[in-house]
Amino acid sequence: MFDYLVVGAGFAGCTLAERLAAALDKKVLLVDKRPHIGGNAYDHHDEHGVLVHKYGPHIFHTNSRDVYTYLSRFTDWYPYQHRVQAYVDGRLVPIPINLDTINALYGTSFTAFELAGFFKSVAQPRESIRTSEDVIVSQVGQELYEKFFRGYTRKQWGLDPSELDAAVTARVPVRTNRDDRYFTDAYQAMPLRGYTAMFARMVAHKNIKILLNTDYHEIENSVLYDEVIFTGPIDEYFDYRFGKLPYRSLQFTFETLNTAQVQPVAVINYPNDNLYTRVTEFKHLTGQEHAKTTRVYEYPQAEGDPYYPIPREENAALYRRYQALADATPGVHFVGRLGTYKYYNMDQVVAQALTLFARIAGMRRAECVGA
């Protein structure tokens, strides 16, 4: 007899399993249909011994001290500041767009102050900022929008930026200084021995039993439990009663080269050339030393594993119908990227899981990360 059946062993599921077992002494059955824990953040050593992320590059960054403190109980960290370059007009330039990007692209020698004036001269202010196109064009104008954003977004989402919520590109800043870090969060680091090692420590508790290669449908009627934490797709849970929530998927192609390093930075974006969106060289992220190096190419596609909830108002409206159903279903808690159909980063999912845990435990959020 279990107190909780936790469906999905990603960030959401492992955080809740750990908290329920360790802080409330609950008996937990953690089930995942994949052959491993870690969800989309799963990493492993490939056949050449290079540490890779099976479901695409995962860079940890957060402004939440709670989340960082909580995860630090299960891992040491490798300090890492993420850098990305974009292949535009036949050359590699920093992205987010900064002073060096513009000077390299246009052969100018603007100062930061002059660049602010340049952006002002090319920006096309829009009355209301509704779509991803509005966000960018109103900041840097049509030409830079075409060079850096339009093609990338169309490949990534299969939609024009004018059809996507502002939230998608609102994540990408534009800078007038030379800061070429992709993120500016207070905490930026990678789990020292990888994500999977961190998850293994989270769920290594006598109260947690783990069942892999198992869809929860296979066991839901043969195992006794009080409540369910569901981190799979919410529409799947309700048998797609109102229709399918749309997701964007990816195909990953890995390549190992007989050289220690090939890229100047971890990620190269290809906004306009090639079918793939970006190429990631893992050793930049992990700090691993190895004679070989492995890269992954990402090809966006409509079909396949559900990776990205598509941020459009009509999809949010469909989700709200499922959410109302979830609210009216006692004993089942929905959480995580798929469970709440939110385009969340890892830290946001941990924060969401901790908040749910605090609610279940009747604790204040600040108390719930304790040992």
Ligand X SMILES: Cc1cc2nc3c(=O)[nH]c(=O)nc-3n(C[C@H](O)[C@H](O)[C@H](O)COP(=O)(O)OP(=O)(O)OC[C@H]3O[C@@H](n4cnc5c(N)ncnc54)[C@H](O)[C@@H]3O)c2cc1C
- Name which position in 12, 21, 203, 369 contacts ligand X (CB under 6 A): 12
- Name which position in 6, 31, 51, 368 contacts ligand X (CB under 6 A): 31
Round to whole Å and give the CA distance between 159 and 154. Answer: 5
Name the closest residue to ligand X (Cβ).
39
- Name which position in 18, 21, 40, 137 contacts ligand X (CB under 6 A): 40
| Shortest separation between residue 32's beta carbon and ligand X, angstroms | 4
| Shortest separation between residue 143's beta carbon and ligand X, angstroms | 28
> Can you tell me whether residue 334 is helix, strand or coil?
strand
Query: From residue 166, how far is each of 58, 172, 312, 347 by CA, in Å?
Result: 23, 11, 9, 21
Structure letter (DSSP) for residue 321: H
Round to whole Å and give the CA distance between 115 and 128. Answer: 24
CB proximity list for 180: less than 8 A, separation 6 or greater:
83, 94, 98, 100
| Shortest separation between residue 344's beta carbon and ligand X, angstroms | 5
328-357: which residues touch ligand X (CB under 6 A)? 336-338, 344-347, 349
Structure letter (DSSP) for residue 47: T
When asked if residue 231 is in the footprint of ligand X (CB under 6 A), the reply is yes
Phi/psi at 197 (5° precision): -60, -40
Do 252 and 297 contact (CB within 8 A), yes or no? yes
Round to whole Å and give the CA distance between 156 and 300. Answer: 6
- Tokens 């096309």 belong to 124
| Site map 280..309 versus ligand X, x via CB under 6 A | ---------------------------x--
Stretch that binds ligand X, among 4-12, 102-110, 165-173, 267-275 (CB under 6 A): 4-12
Stretch that binds ligand X, among 8-16, 114-122, 131-139, 309-317 (CB under 6 A): 8-16
Closest CA to 318 of 243, 247, 248, 249: 243
Please give the size of the binding site for ligand X, defined by CB under 6 A.
Answer: 33
| Shortest separation between residue 128's beta carbon and ligand X, angstroms | 29
| Cβ-based burial of 268 (10 A; exposed 0-12, middle 13-18, buried ≥19) | buried
| Site map 48..87 versus ligand X, x via CB under 6 A | -------xxxxx----------------------------
| Shortest separation between residue 120's beta carbon and ligand X, angstroms | 32
When asked if residue 13 is in the footprint of ligand X (CB under 6 A), the reply is yes
Positive or negative torsion for Cα 334, 188, 183, 42? negative
What residue ranges bind ligand X (CB under 6 A)? 7-13, 31-34, 39-41, 55-59, 215-216, 231-232, 250, 307, 336-338, 344-347, 349
